[in-house]
Structure 1
Amino acid sequence: MISLFDISLQINGFPIKKAKAELDRIVNLSEEDYAVYLQNKKEEIVAFHLQNNSFYQELVGNKTAPKWENLPILNKQNLQKPLAERLSKGYTLKNVYLNKTSGSSGTPFVFAKDKYSHALTWASNIMRFGWFGIDFNHSYQARFYGIPMDFVGYQKERLKDFLSRRFRFPVFDLSDEVLEKFLQKFKIKKFDYLNGYTSSIVLFSKYLEQKNIILRDICPTLKACFVTSEMLFESDKKLLEKQFGIPIINEYGASELDLIAFENPKGEWQVNAETLFVEILDENNNVLPYGEEGRIVITSLFNKANPFIRYEIGDIGILDEKSTPQKPILKKLIGRTNDVAILPSGKKSPGLTFYYVTKSIIEDDGNVKEFIIKQTRLDTFEIEYVSEKELDSEQIQKIDEAISLYLEPNLNFSFTRKKVLERTNRGKLKQFKSYL
């Protein structure tokens, strides 16, 4: 069977063959060789950005690399400036992979990856999903995700879905009528796996529980379910296992980096030590020993287009005591939860829907720094935001239109510009909160 997925990556300039070969080499290094590999990659990526990236030079303050532990911690605020000011020499908006972060942390920005580093991200995804018998070229995915609603964006995603063997279940409306339609699709389509936002997949499993249906009974081809983007609570995981009748695999990733941790077949949350270097730091930026809770700071070992060196992702976590540099295990991830909005029509929408709404105003000029959305009544929402300039009526109009499109019409939104936004006691910005 033709490998459509690999071919579409190759055609788009992502050298997937080369990336797979390199990843294979890294995975098979001995412990000693891995230590040498890691040291070299860290030195190499820092030297590259100090030579070729004026944004990073400025951040570090000189062109010679200080000791690793003295390198600055890069945060999302540092990255909220036009991308052109952050690209390395030799990279332009034309020859990189471009995307926006989800803003689920409330601090969105635009980022770039060079094509080889993005190919490695795919090679890493392919390898990890392969642990569970999933092959992107042949396996059929039931995808619980959002989708852009503008015509061009919508068609583009649908084409990508077709090439990637995915059937998309848009998660903006998760009312019972819609979940019933989802269920009917599982009766007629031979899905191999589910993948998508935790909260949406959990809502679907609760619907199955009400109907007393085990998903695998009606769709026997299913092998596994992969949840991402939000916290998976133990009680929800048990419910998913019970209602789906297949293994539930927890992944933790960030679009600007890669898959960060992925549950392996032994049930360990294995950190990606092939393309990333993960550290846990205390509030004074000291590296904590395995077993201690602290801020997750990540280095992308391959991305030359944009520096992600000692980048603070905004989550808190613990690496297991049994970790080794070559095989770190994430013991616990604290943070990243999202509520569900319930609307006047009875429709339920995951908090991540608001990312698609606000994406319409988050441009590359970095004006809107942070935002949170609060639901105070069934039809009433407050958006609080921090920005250099106040949102103008045109931008507010744009948000109103996006709200009608993604959620439903006749909702009331108020906009308040703030100097700072309230955060959780762990410093996380919870992007959506329902007070109902």
Structure 2
Amino acid sequence: MRLFDFSLKINGFDINKARLALSKVQAKNDSDLKAYVEKQKKDIISFHLKNNSFYRSFASQVDVNDWSSVPVMTKRHLQQSLEKRLSKGYELKNVYVNKTSGSSGDPFVFAKDKWCHAMTWAEITDRFSWYGIDFNTSKQARFYGIPLDKKGYYKERLKDWFSNRYRFSVFDLSDNAFEKALVKFKTSKFDFINGYTSPIVQFAKFLKRKDNILKDLCPSLKVCIVTSEMLFDDDKALMEKQFGVPIVNEYGASELDLIAFQNTHNEWQVNSETLFLEILDDNDNVLPYGEEGRVVITSLYNKAHPFIRYDIGDIGILSDKSTLRKPILKKLVGRTNDIAVLPSGKKAAGLTFYYITKSVIEDEGNVSEFIIEQSAIDTFKIKYVSREVLSSDKKKVITEAMEQYLEPGISITFKRVDKLDRSKSGKLKQFTSYVD
């Protein structure tokens, strides 16, 4: 029995019809695809202007024939009662409702109509099939957070059972927990690993210390797909070596869909079937391929709730090899709220200097995880988990590297901790600025 498909259908998500619709979009030639995208953009705006009072007041000056007239919406625009944001004919009882993780600092509750959510799952299952994964038959090793309250905990466990997956907690990354995980891999026929990047990296480091290759212990394993957190090249190389399978990078947002997925040619292919992605400058102008800017996305199918020219809060670059059919995300720089502002007025992407510090702090394998916090315009704190306290010489090298990249005169402090605090969802935020 195809239990995963059945669970979608019983909840009102017609996955078979959605897969057929998706395949028809993918079969279009270039000119028909362009016409389809333009029609979907115009149709979704027209629908919400007619049926959604929230969007009508937000986008009162829109000309449906002029895309540049469509205003950019942010998460803060959506931080009001969901009932006020739903379109006519949609109520809480007939839509899919969820909430964002809040990792951007602006959490909110959102909705999708059931057809839109079915198309989301059609897109996800299509991409996973590139690596021979079928959610109905392929067993998943899942590294995600899980609610700690009793009701939420058992609800997720039930969903895991229907989805043919086993969940490993990301809140305990001790060697003891990984030893138990290793036993589970030895005794289960997992087809793929899926989950947050940072705990999976820690599992790979554990395997390296144990001198184990996961594929040797779990021969059924085909691929590891990471999401929600930055994947750095050296971490990817480590995972590929210790897991013995391809490492695939996924980029998505719960309120939208799967946004980009690494294809078998090692390209980060953007979802152009159910979403329309743009890179904009600070004045909301569309940037050409190859230039860095804000990631702004339109959901082409969501009639229950408008996500039209929605600024997701990320900074990225589309490759100059991109086409309408196959946009390629060259780089995801980080989040717009992950910017370090310095005493001189200079700005730096937090994840960029996190990466520079990472190359110094982890070269000996002593430090397993760390984060950087900016508490004042000239003050940074590095919190780290390690077997041994960082030496004075190592701290000096790290401080010099930070000053070289940022600017002289900043204060760098270090704090060793037993474990790093994660969000309620289990995500680890590598850089946080508390400077307003």
**Aligned position for 2:285:** 286
The equivalent residue for 1:360 is: none
Q: Residues 291, 120 of structure 1: CA spacing in aligned structure 2 closer, same or farther, 3 A cutoff? A: same
Deviates more, 1:147-156 or 1:247-256: 147-156
Aligned pairs for 1:6-405 within 5 A:
6-62=5-61, 65=64, 67-335=66-334
User: Deviation digits for residues 311-354 of structure 1, max 9, x if unmatched?
Assistant: 001111110111001110000011156999xxxxxxx9999xxx
Counterpart residue number, 1:421: none
The separation in 1 between residues aligned to 2:12 and 2:182, in whole angstroms, is: 37
Retained in 2: the 8 A contact 1:215–1:245? yes
TM-score by length of 2: 0.78
Q: Secondary structure at the match of 2:92?
A: coil
Please give the per-residue CA displacement for 1:96-115, whole angstroms capped at 9, x wherever unaligned. Answer: 00001011111100000000
Cα pair distance change 1:376/1:238, threshold 3 Å: closer
Q: Is the 8 A contact 1:140 1:192 kept in 2?
A: yes
* Cα offset, 1:150, TM superposition: 1.1
Query: Structure 1's 106 and 321: CA in aligned 2 closer, same or farther, altered over 3 A?
Result: same
Shift in Å, 1:65? 3.0
1:323–1:214: structure 2 CA closer, same or farther, 3 Å change rule? same
Q: CA deviation at 1:152?
A: 1.2
Cα distance in 1, alignment partners of residues 213 and 63 from structure 2: 59
Once residues 79 and 141 of structure 2 are traced to their aligned partners in structure 1, the CA distance between those partners, rounded to angstroms, is 34
Mapped to 2, the partners of 1:120 and 1:304 lie a distance apart of: 12
CA distance in 2, matches of 1:314, 1:184: 39
For residues 292 and 375 of structure 1, the distance between their equivalents in structure 2, rounded to whole angstroms, comes to 31
Q: 1:239 to 1:248 in 2, by over 3 A?
A: same
Give the 3 Å change call, closer, same or farther, for CA 63–295 of structure 1 in structure 2.
closer
Q: Could you tell me how far 1:180 is from its partner in structure 2?
A: 1.1
Cα 1:283–1:229 change in 2 (3 A) is: same
Partner of 1:355: none
* 1:257–1:431 CA distance, 2 compared to 1 (3 A): farther
Aligned counterparts, 1:401-420, within 5 A: none
SS of the equivalent of 2:120 reads: helix
TM-score, length-scaled by structure 1: 0.78
Partners of 1:41 and 1:148 in 2: CA distance: 37
1:278-327 Cα shifts (integer Å, max 9, x gaps): 00001111101011111000000000111000000111111011100111
Distance 1:47 1:227, change over 3 A: same
Query: How many Å separate the matches in 2 of 1:233 and 1:241?
Result: 12
Equivalent-residue separation in structure 2 for 1:350 and 1:181 (angstroms) = 24
Task: Give the total of aligned pairs.
Answer: 359
Which secondary structure state, in structure 1, belongs to the residue aligned with residue 209 of structure 2?
Answer: helix
Tell me the secondary structure at the aligned position of residue 94 of structure 1. Answer: helix
Q: Deviations over 1:67-111 (max 9, x none)?
A: 111211000110111101111000111100000101111110000
* Runs of 5+ unmatched residues, structure 2: 336-350, 359-367, 372-380, 386-416, 422-428
Instruction: Kindly provide the amino acid, as one letter, of the partner of residue 194 in structure 2.
Output: N
Contact 2:370/2:430, CA 8 A, preserved across alignment: no
The one-letter amino acid of 2:118's match is A
**Aligned-partner residue type, residue 27 of structure 2:** N
Q: 1:18 to 1:349 in 2, by over 3 A?
A: farther
CA contact (8 A) 2:94 2:113 kept: yes
Instruction: Give the SS at the match of 1:335.
Output: strand
Which letter does structure 2 place at the counterpart of 1:221? Answer: S
Counterpart of 2:254, as a letter, is: S
Extract structure 1 runs of 4+ deviating beyond 2 A: 62-66, 336-340, 348-351, 374-378, 429-434
Q: Distance in 2 between matches of 1:350 and 1:276?
A: 34
Identity %: 60
Deviations along 1:216-254, one digit per CA (max 9) or x if unpaired, are: 010000000000000000010000100000000000000
Q: Once superposed, what is the RMSD of the aligned Cα atoms?
A: 2.6
Are the aligned partners of 1:145 and 1:196 in contact in 2 as well (CA < 8 Å)? yes
Are residues 320 and 223 of structure 1, via their aligned partners in 2, closer, same or farther at CA, if it must alter by over 3 Å?
Answer: same
Equivalent position amino acid for 1:38 in 2: V
Residue identity in the other structure for 1:103: G
Q: Which amino acid aligns with 2:151?
A: V
Greater relative CO (CA pairs within 8 A, separation 6+): 1
Change (3 A) 1:312 1:255: same
Per-residue deviation at 1:375? 8.8
Going from structure 1 to structure 2, the CA distance change for 1:184 and 1:350 (only over 3 Å counts) comes to farther
Alignment partners' CA distance in 1, 2:303 and 2:156: 27
1:417 paired residue number: none
Equivalent AA in structure 2 for residue 88 of structure 1: S
Contact 2:61 2:69 in 1 (8 A): no
The answer to whether the 8 Å contact 1:173/1:349 transfers is no
- CA–CA distance in 2 between the matches of 1:321 and 1:28? 24
Aligned 8 A contact 1:271 1:329 in 2 = yes
Partner Cα separation in structure 1 for residue 148 and residue 130 of structure 2: 34
Q: 1:287 to 1:433 in 2, by over 3 A?
A: closer
Contact 2:22/2:119, CA 8 A, preserved across alignment = yes
Q: CA deviation at 1:62?
A: 4.6
Q: Secondary structure at the match of 1:77?
A: helix
Deviations 1:367-425 (A, max 9, x none): xxxxxxx99799xxxxxxxxxxxxxxxxxxxxxxxxxxxx99xx99xxxxxxxxxxxxx
Q: Secondary structure, in 3 states, of the residue corresponding to 1:306?
A: coil
Name the SS of the counterpart of 1:298 in structure 2. strand
Counterpart amino acid of 1:220?
Answer: P
Q: Distance in 1 between matches of 2:432 and 2:16?
A: 40
C-alpha distance in 2 between matches for 1:128 and 1:350: 32
